[in-house]
Chains A and B, each alone.
Chain A
Amino acid sequence: MREITYLEAIREAMSEQMRENPDVYIMGEDIGIYGGGFGVTRGMYEEFGGERVRNTPISEAAISGAAIGSAITGMRPIFELQFSDFITIALDNIVNQAGKIRYMYGGKAQIPLVMRTPSGSGTGAAAQHSQSLENITAHIPGLKVIQPATAYDAKGLLHSAIEDNNPVMFYEHKLCYKTSSDVPEGKYLIPIGVADIKREGTDISIVATGIMVHKALEAAEILAKDGINIEVVDPRTLVPLDKETIIKSVIKTGKAIIVTEAVKRSGFSAELASVIAESESFDFLDAPIIRLAGKEIPIPYQPELEKLAVPQVDDIVAAARNMMKKN
């Protein structure tokens, strides 16, 4: 197999879908000749033309709504939102339209649309371009929410997202774009709602999302040298959430650390913690669940501060050592 980047994997999934199905198209700001803010769509305009790789005005409210209108009437649009922070401008359509229409209409409509967007900190882009807002959409019934960490997952999950008949939010971490892994050529589908054990272990389950999967894996390597054997669980999909895999892992290890980039307060880390606490795995816990998550601050610009705003490898290592020491 060949290695390609996360960014290339996403582009491949879209291109393969567009070759296969004329109803699939993409729209967004600067996605044409420019190739998108992060270069994800580079070359697609040349292959598919401006009708299917639609450059839009800077109008998140209209594009998100148009994607819904186009999806209800039979197309399968992909909407690239340049930065996930701008979700707030599209939020009416995402929350009040996309998430609700099917239910409100008694099941008589479906909205096969994918909204892809780069999220997260670490690029020095400061507070309005660095946030992790996936929890906002994970809260809304009617939406599916995907947060892939690896190139392999990104491609397989994006294929599934495009073929799904529901509105799907697809969060791409900016720092993941340049990471690479073995990725098959051609279409393959990773089911939405199935977690992946990224590393098997026996001592502590680290449930990590998005970029934190990489940090958890790095931490696990360091901890392995101390003889601490970490299992890394990557939910991959926040909605629907594969609770079973998470619970099983915690039953096996008896300890859980949750690591997400989004702000801790009311964040998805709380959801993951409660899934464990509310389940049969609670009886197997031999230490309180630890949540490592973003601090309750906007993302600062200054690089040292920026790093401090979200969990880092060292934080995970320290938390795991602490947890082991106490038991």
Chain B
Amino acid sequence: MTQSIENHAGLDDEKLQEIYQTMWTIRYFDEKVDQFFAKGMIHGTTHLAVGQEASAAGSGAVLKKTDWITATHRGHGHTIAKGTDVKPMMAELFGRQTGTNKGKGGSMHIAELANGNLGANAIVGGGYAIATGAALTSKMRNEGKVALAYAGDGSTNEGSFHESLNLASIWDLPVVFFIENNFYGMSGPVVEMMNIPHISDRAASYGIPGITINGNDIIEVINATYDAVERARRGEGPTLIEALTYRWKGHSKSDAKKYRTKEEEKEWKTNKDPIKLARKRFIDAGVFTEEKADELQNSARLSIEEAVKFAEESPITDISELYTDVYSD
């Protein structure tokens, strides 16, 4: 096993290749969803994470299958990176019986407990306390599991953020609060919504470490997440990570993006594309060749095509499911 890029998690080239492929899987998944949505083939609403692939893929890669995550409304990437198969994910968006949630949840609620995914949450800030509770279970049972809560910048103005960080801190819970700061909460620019330069500054109020990283740099994401996860596993408590990134698309379906400029978008798309950056970095370091990079990208594309086929061929959720799953026996 060669390790061409030193990283805190000690990931070898094979694993880095896998992460690269995951980034493409996330991008292709969401681009496909965007197309289907435009064509009216899937309904509801979706929040796409195109442009934010590094923060999901890098953080997901250092978690174990048994660790927990809570994802957000923009959670396809988190879910893919945690290891959920894109087939049932796509089927979920198509409202099929084979979907991750039997077609009852849709884009904003995809969950797979068997893979450590406690679910996406469409309540902004809804995941903080749930992840904190999962970490409490791990601590009380001495399971050594870590919970990672993904969240957006906007959600850090919710009370649940502050209460959860405080609670996790006083109880030294093994939880990582991972904020994807894409600079806007819907249309609200971060700079207008808080009067401090960094979201990570907020960690100080709760006596926990806070760090701001380049969320489009895959290695920086891997390193910061690994350090936080290990700290949590050692029983030293939570960490707040702020990963700076950018969503290329609108907030959701009907977003004219009037709150930001074309120049700003172009800058992020051309010079700060996390996948492009990863590709260059990995090729320069000898993690893979140009050919291998194309091959990984192609495999990702194929997996999405297969997922679409799977979804289309799956039966729609049976009407007999209307009343099931409300209560547990």
Chain A residues close to B by CB (< 8 Å): 25, 51-52, 54, 56-57, 59, 61-75, 77, 92-93, 96-97, 101-112, 141-142, 144, 165-166
Binding-face segment, B34-42, B48-56, B130-138, B238-246: B130-138
* A229 → B minimal CB distance (Å): 38
Interface string of B89-117 (1 = CB under 8 A from A): 00000000001111111000101111000
- Across-interface contacts of B140 in A (CB, < 8 A): 25, 51-52, 70, 75
* Chain B residues in 8 Å Cβ range of A73: 68, 118, 133-134, 137-138
* Distance, CA A75 to CA B104, complexed state (A): 25
Beyond the given A52-B140, A69-B131, A108-B112, could you list 14 further A-B residue pairs with CB under 8 A, ordered by the A residue number? A59-B167, A62-B163, A63-B163, A65-B128, A65-B133, A66-B130, A66-B164, A68-B130, A69-B137, A72-B130, A75-B137, A96-B126, A104-B104, A108-B114
Interface contact tally, CB-CB below 8 A: 150
Q: Are A65 and B137 in contact (CB under 8 A)?
A: no
How far is A96 from B119 in the complex, measured between Cα atoms in Å?
13
Residue of A nearest to B130 (CB): A69
CB distance from A275 to the nearest CB of B (A): 19
Given A68-B133, A73-B134, A74-B137, answer yes or no on A104-B109 (Cβ-Cβ < 8 Å): yes
B163 to chain A, nearest CB (A): 3
Most B C-beta atoms less than 10 A away, residue of A52, A72, A73 = A73
- Complex-state Cα separation, A107 to B113, whole angstroms: 11
Segment touching A, from B217-225, B276-284, B291-299, B319-327: B319-327
B296-315 at interface with A (beta carbon < 8 Å): none
A110, B111: Cα distance in complex, Å = 13
CA distance A105 to B115 in the complex (A): 13
CA distance A92 to B126 in the complex (A): 8
B133 & A61 in contact (Cβ 8 Å cutoff): no
Q: Do A62 and B138 have beta carbons less than 8 Å apart?
A: no
Q: Min CB distance, A140 to chain B, in Å? A: 11
User: For residue A64, which residues in chain B have a CB less than 8 angstroms away from its CB?
Assistant: 129
With A and B bound together, what is the CA distance between A306 and B48 in angstroms?
53
CA distance A52 to B141 in the complex (A): 11
**Within 8 Å of chain A (Cβ to Cβ): is B285?**
no
A160, chain B: closest CB distance, angstroms: 13
Given contacts A105-B119, A106-B102, A106-B105, contact A69 B326 (CB under 8 A): no
Count residues of B near A (Cβ-Cβ below 8 Å). Answer: 48
> Is B1 on the interface with A (CB-CB < 8 A)?
no
Whole-angstrom distance between the alpha carbons of A77 and B134 in the complex?
Answer: 12
Answer yes or no: B159 CB below 8 A from chain A CBs. yes
- Asked if residues A66 and B136 are in contact (CB atoms below 8 Å), the reply is yes
| Cβ of A208 to closest chain B Cβ, rounded Å | 26
In the docked arrangement, what's the CA distance between A298 and B60, Å?
A: 50
The 6 listed contacts between A and B (C-beta, < 8 Å) are: A64-B129, A69-B129, A69-B130, A97-B123, A105-B325, A111-B328
Complex contact B128–A62 (CB within 8 A): yes
Knowing A73-B138, A93-B129 are in contact, say whether A109-B111 is a contact too (CB < 8 A): yes
Determine whether B160 belongs to the interface, using a CB cutoff of 8 Å to chain A.
yes
Please give me the residue from chain A that is nearest to B321 by CB atom.
A106
Q: In the complex the two chains form, is B119's CB within 8 Å of A65's CB?
A: no
Q: How far is it, in angstroms, between the C-alpha of A51 and the C-alpha of B172 when the chains are bound?
A: 12
CB distance from A28 to the nearest CB of B (A): 13
Establish whether residues B100 and A106, one from each chain, have CB atoms under 8 Å apart when the complex forms: yes
B144-169 interface (Cβ within 8 A of A): 147, 159-160, 163-164, 166-167
In the bound complex, what is the Cα–Cα distance between A64 and B70 (angstroms)? 16
Whether A71 lies near B133 (C-beta < 8 A) is: yes
Q: Please tell me if B170 contacts chain A, counting CB pairs below 8 Å.
A: yes
In the complex, are the beta carbons of A165 and B129 less than 8 A apart? Answer: no
Determine how close the nearest CB of chain B comes to the CB of A218; give it in whole angstroms.
Answer: 36
Residue of B129, B166, B167 contacting most chain A CB atoms (<10 Å): B129
CA distance A71 to B118 in the complex (A): 11
- Given A71-B133, A73-B137, A106-B102, are A65 and B160 neighbors across the interface (CB < 8 Å)? yes
List the 3 closest pairs (A to B, CB-CB), nearest first: A65-B129, A69-B133, A106-B102
B329 at the interface (CB under 8 A from A): yes
